[in-house]
Structures are given as structure tokens and as C-alpha cells.
Amino acid sequence: MRIRPRQQLLDLWQAMMQCCHRDDTWIWGGRQGSNSISDAEQLLCLLYPATEVEAFALDRPNDMPADTRAVLAPLGEPTRFGSVLVGLLEQYLERYTDPEGEPIFAGGSYLAAEGEQPPTDAQRALEVVDSYSMSISLCIASLRFLRGFQRFVSGEVRREAKELDTRIAALLPGVSIRLTAAMAGLVRSFVIHTPAPATPSGRSILGMLNQTGTAVEEVISAISARLERVRVQAANDVKLSQTSGIDLADDLLMFECGWSWGIFRDAAPIDFITHRVATGAGHAEARPYLYFTVVALDGIADLSSQRTRELDLLDDEQRQLADALQLSSELTLRYWSTVARFGTGRWPLEDIPWRTSDGAESDYFSLAVAAMLLQDLVARESTDDLPRTVAIFDQLARRGRIISRLTADDPAATLHHPGVTLRLTGSEHLTGGPRLIWRTPDFVTMMLKRCLQAARLSGDVATRDQLMELAESAMDHIDRRVIGTGPAAGLWDDPGVLIGPTGVNGSEPPEQPSWFHTERVMECLVVAYNTFRESPLSPATMIARAVELLNEAEHLLNQEMLEVSLDRWVDEHGPAERSSTLTALTRIEQSLDRARRQLRERPGTAFALASQALIQLDELAYARQDARR
């Protein structure tokens, strides 16, 4: 399936209008009810494209394209679109702010229990990294939209505009408070894990790194040397929220870093932030979870984007938190990029499936590590190991049945529904409830997003073509899972289409959308939009061939110019024919000038223009020879 991000985003918005906006009322919640994460995902499906894609900007109603206005027509006139979004943001902050004014980041209905005993109310109130990260993306998008829309309404003279300006001014501090709290929560959820090699965690890490059967002492020495810079920087620069019990100087200990599922139990408070998130006790174990690490990195990417810096959206406290998160992000990417490619033979990442430090194995973990390796390559703008990374994506797509179809009782089906189960260690100590679990059914959307990002990085035609084939296969898979009928038609997710009704407890299509899936599909479409806006590849071989054709065409053009200027040419053909030929030669000259200008950015276009000019010159030369005969 060809990926058409603009039309597919419009279709998604149209489906949202039918599902969520009824009788001038916004319907919150989805298949798993309402919680701080699901409602943020629902709101991001509108706000993220509106702030990342120029054609979908809602803060300038007068410049809105006709197709966007038509899709959002249920909200009223274009001038009302912005006011509706302001109202939705007001509702969201009201729903997820407690009576003391503290932001709420509870996982709520997204948290399930291991076993038959349901989670307690206190466990439902546990805050998770997914909520912190999603709130950062939501708040950054909200600030972009509100600042732009405020400039628009300030130029209006209507009374409604003045009232709206007052509402925006009152809303901005609330969004900023939630952003600060979410950043603090993410800072305190960053963990550094240093198990001894003889422990189960240490043996699991060594088992993945040692692909050649080398002596354990040699592997420990080699990985310590490779990670020395990461260790030193982590020891010297990571200050916020870290305790003094971590020994990064001991080279005999194993080492890993990333984000746990929530604030870890020994996290130190952040003294310059007064919010409960910055000072309250945590419950998560000090071990990184690959899913939550990838989620956290995505939120930090939105926070650290060039547009966020240019718009100056952060205050002084937020900049200090952002610096800490950026440092944690860089250390994490460098760590996982190093261990994924450790050794001189087969990469640990190529030994699918990846085994985490708690002994769990899954293709999903391999994809998460590959995603972080790719993010590191993008951050460094390096393509050195991109072909091998693409080969891993291809293998994972085959193992995950994205390229091939699922068979009966296929174990790969669990990657898509219900997803890999993560045990949230530490959650069972709260009020004596059961251990909580988290499911990760985003295998295909993670694959699609990373393939599109890699295609944007790649400078090789064959590699980019392979990535786009994988992306289109993933889009095929996603498109088959769209809900076909009912109030949620056009949204996601209906896994029963792929894995059969027995896998989803019923044969009827879901009546409510999964905002977890829908939001991630939306992110993929935005990435696709930005990827397609980049200039096409300019291979050196294509440029060289276009230069050869241009040189030949320009030389023949000069010959024709000399020929038509001779007096005998006029005697043979007449003044009128000479004028017509000069006009044709002028057009060819203009075409070649355009080809020269396109040569570096669009060598294929330059090649085609030069080829067309050569054909036209040959026709003129043949016509002249035929006239002489």
C-alpha cells in the first residue's frame, strides 16, 4: 500500500469527528476507558499534526486549506476550530489535576494485574513513564498551538476573541505546570543498573554480549573499555534524582541505563521543583525497561526539537530539567547503540530474540534495541552501520509476520495482540495488591516509524528502497487492522481481522477505538509526511550521468546555434523558418539551464530534461538534413 500521509491524516481526523464529536459534545475515552494517558493520546491525534504539519495548522484559520476545513466542519466555522481545542485542553487539565493543583499521571485502566485479583485503587493511581512522556508531547504541542492561536486572536476585534484571549492566558500556566511535573517525573524515572556478573541479571547481559564464546573476564574487560566514556559521563554529569549507591567506577560490574516503568524507589527528590512528582516516593525497581525507555526517548525528542528551542517555550526550571533529560537521552542511546553492535563478529542485536537483564526474551525487545540504535545513527547523522540495521528490521518484519501472513495459532500473533507482557516489579508492594503488568501491542507501528526515520537518513538508493518496501508492508498490516464499521470506523485497532475472533474474545468489530494504537499510527503518518518533504536522493552516479548528457546536449545546441546563424541557412530555409528554429533553440536552452539548476538536488529530473533536449535537437538536425536532401 502506498503511504499517503496527507490524505490518511485527513481520513483519521474525519473518523475522529464522527467518533468523538456528537451533539456539540466531545466524547472522552476509548476501549479502555479514560485515563491520563488515553485522553492525552486522543488529544494528541488532533494537536500533534496541527503543530507538526503546516497544512494542518489550526492556529491560523484564515490560511487553512479547503480539505482541512471540510474534514473539521462538524466543529463549526474555521474560526471556531481553535476555540474548540482550547476548550478540550481546559477539560483535560481539569480532569487530571487534583484539588491541591497537582497534575495527575496515573496509569489507571491501562494497568492490569498478574493473576485473577484486580488492581487496587492505589495501584490504579500509580504513575508511569508512559504518562510522563505522553504529557510532555501533549504540553509541547499545546504550547505551540496556544502561542500561535493567541497571536491570531489578539488581532481580532470581536468580543469572542477578547474572551478567548483571556481563556488562553489562563490556560498557559496550567499547561506549563503539567509540563514541568512531567519532566520531573521522567528525570526521576531514569535509572542506572550495575549488577555483578555472577547475578542472574549480570549473566543475562553477558549472555547477549558474548556472541563468540570468549572467556567471561575478557568480555567484561572489553565492554568496560567500550563503555568507559559513558560510565565517566554518567558518574560526573548525571546528578538529578540519582542516589549515591551506584558504583560506576567499578569496571567489574555490568552496566545498563534507561527508564524504569515509573519513579524508582530510591530516587532522590529534585530540590528546585515543588511538585509532588519531584519529591514523592517511587516504587519502581532500578532496572531499565526497553519499552518505557523507547517511549521516554520519543518524549524527549519532542522536548529537544529545534522548533521547541526556536519558539522559546521553556522557562528556566524547565530548561534545567530539559538539559538533564537530554543528557540521559544521549547516554542511553550511546549505551544501547554500543551493546547492540558489541564485538567483532555477529552483533548481539543480530542474535534474535533479545534477552533483557531480567531474563525475558522477545522479538519486541530486539525491535526496541534496533530502534534505539537507529535513533543514535540519526542523532549522529551516521550511515556506517545502516545496511546491517536494515537487514535486522527486515528479519524482524518477517518473524513478526508483517511481510508474510499469520498462520493458525502463530506465536507471532502475540506481538500484535495482546502484546508482550511486562511485569512492573515493585507495584506489588503497594497496599498488598497483585503485581501489575503492562502490555506492548505496538510492534508494527514501531517498525513503521523507525523504517520511515531510517529512510530519511539513508543516502543509498537500494537501502532506501528496501526501507520503503518494509514501510509499505507495515502500512498494509496497519490498514487491514482499521475498524471497518460502527462509531469507531476509520480508527484503530481491530486485531481480529488478522488473528481471528478467538484472539480478541469475540467476532464483532470493536465499538470503541484504541487511542494507544490510533495515536501511534498518527505519529507514523506525521513522520512519513516529513520524510516525503525531504529532497530525493542524489546519487553520484546519477549526477555523473546527467552531467554527461548535459554536456552533449549543450555542445549540440551550440552547433545548432552556429548553423542557424549562417547566411546560406537563410537562403535554404527562409527568414520565417529561421525565426521558428531560433525560438525552438531558445526553449531548449532554457530547459538545459533548468536542468543545470536541478542537477545536485534532482539529478533524475536533470537527466530527463537533458534527454528531452537531446531528442529535440536530433529532430531539428534531422529536419535540416531532410530539407537539404
The secondary structure of 352-390 as a DSSP string is SSEE-TTS-EEHHHHHHHHHHHHHHHHHHT--TTHHHHH
Q: Among 375-389, 486-500, 571-585, whose mean pLDDT is lowest? A: 571-585
Strand (E) or helix (H) holding 192: strand 190-193
Query: Which backbone phi and psi does 361 adopt, to 5 degrees?
Result: -125, 140
Contact yes or no for 564/583 (Cβ under 8 A): no
**How does pLDDT run across 454-496, given as a tens digit for each residue?**
998 887 888 889 999 999 999 999 999 999 989 999 999 998 8
Looking at residue 574, what is its pLDDT? 63
Give the Cα separation of 201 and 265 in Å (integer).
Answer: 19
**Nearest by Cα to 238 from 188, 303, 296:** 188
The residue among 240 and 504 whose pLDDT is bigger is: 240
Query: pLDDT class for 535, splitting at 50, 70, 90?
Result: confident
For 138-172, the DSSP string reads HHHHHHHHHHHHHHHHHT--SHHHHHHHHHHHHHH
Percent residues over pLDDT 70 in the chain: 93
| b/e sequence 91-103, b meaning 16+ C-beta within 10 Å | ebbeebbeeeebb
Whether 582 has a pLDDT exceeding 90, the answer reads: no
Whether 153 has a pLDDT exceeding 70, the answer reads: yes
Query: Which backbone phi and psi does 440 adopt, to 5 degrees?
Result: -125, 80
Give the Cα separation of 87 and 621 in Å (integer).
Answer: 70
Query: Which backbone phi and psi does 190 adopt, to 5 degrees?
Result: -75, 130
**Bridge partners of 78?**
none
Give Rg (Cα) of the chain. Answer: 29
Query: pLDDT class for 324, splitting at 50, 70, 90?
Result: very high
Looking at residue 160, what is its pLDDT? 73
- CA atoms within 13 A of residue 53's CA, in its CB half-sphere: 28
Contact yes or no for 377/389 (Cβ under 8 A): yes
Phi-psi region of 458 (alpha: psi -120 to 50; beta: other; left: phi over 0): beta
**What stretches of 265-368 adopt beta strand conformation (E)?**
354-355, 361-362
**How does pLDDT run across 332-346, given as a tens digit for each residue?**
999 999 999 998 889
**How does pLDDT run across 283-318, given as a tens digit for each residue?**
999 899 999 999 999 999 998 887 777 778 888 999
Looking at residue 504, what is its pLDDT? 45
Looking at residue 212, what is its pLDDT? 86
Query: pLDDT class for 503, splitting at 50, 70, 90?
Result: very low
Query: Which residues are CB-neighbours of 278 under 8 A, at least 6 positions away?
Result: 181, 184, 185, 188, 269, 270
Looking at residue 505, what is its pLDDT? 45
Characterize the bridge pairing of strands 256-259 and 25-26: unpaired
Looking at residue 117, what is its pLDDT? 86
* Average confidence score pLDDT of the chain: 88
**Nearest by Cα to 172 from 298, 315, 319, 38:** 315
**How does pLDDT run across 605-614, given as a tens digit for each residue?**
888 988 998 8
Looking at residue 158, what is its pLDDT? 67
Matching residue, cell 536530433: 618
**How does pLDDT run across 81-98, given as a tens digit for each residue?**
889 999 999 999 999 999
What is the rounded end-to-end Cα distance, in angstroms, of the chain?
55
Give the Cα separation of 139 and 36 in Å (integer).
Answer: 13
Q: Among 5-14, 152-161, 214-223, 500-509, whose mean pLDDT is lowest? A: 500-509
Query: Which residues are CB-neighbours of 620 under 8 A, at least 6 positions away?
Result: 560, 581, 584, 585
**How does pLDDT run across 226-283, given as a tens digit for each residue?**
998 888 888 877 766 565 556 777 888 888 999 999 999 888 899 888 888 988 888 9
Query: pLDDT class for 578, splitting at 50, 70, 90?
Result: low
**Nearest by Cα to 447 from 386, 405, 394:** 394
Q: Which three cell numbers stand for residue 70?
A: 471540510
Looking at residue 288, what is its pLDDT? 95
Looking at residue 248, what is its pLDDT? 76
